[in-house]
Amino acid sequence: MSSTLTDRLPTQADPALAPTPASTRDTALRYQHGFGNEYASEAVPGALPQGRNSPQRAPFDLYPELISGTAFTAPRHTNRRSWLYRRQPSVVSGRYQPYAQPFWTTGADRAMAVPPEPLRWAPIAFDASSAEADFVDGMHTLAANGDAETQVGVAAHMYLATRSMDRRA
């Protein structure tokens, strides 16, 4: 019979969770010293894979996820990252439920509510047999936030071009 993570998690009845005197508690702690070093810690012994970060099958059927803490253009030796091993992938978090908080507002368009869920951008709908588009006509705005008049904010665009910008500036 294989052991699962839930079988190994401590419960309230576990004697290891009982309060201990300060002197005993302080000596049981292990500190990780240094700045910029790489560390590993686990809630259950044996939960971290040994010798690799993303095995095909992680211990206790956990899901490995990489969180990068640096820009993708940074040199490899300066990258900061965290490997997390979860019971279920973060994308299985469930549907977003809006919370009404009338006193906390932003400058963004309140009529447009974008859920904080993983999204994919579908390809641009385009019928090549009936239409042509250059760079300008093929531009599609995916997301925008801020105010163009005050030049504050950001936008993301995607384009599709099937012809040259000939005689068009």
pLDDT digits (tens, 9 = 90+) for 97-112: 877 777 776 666 666 6
pLDDT (average), residues 140-154: 85
The Cα 132–Cα 115 span in angstroms is 33
Residue 62 neighbours by CB under 8 Å, 6+ apart: 5, 47, 85, 86, 87
pLDDT band at 1 (very low <50, low <70, confident <90, very high): very low
Cα separation of 73 and 41, whole Å? 28
Q: Is 146:107 a contact under the CB 8 Å cutoff?
A: yes
DSSP annotation of 111: T
The predicted model gives 139-160 an average pLDDT of 86
In Å, the largest CA–CA distance within the chain is 82
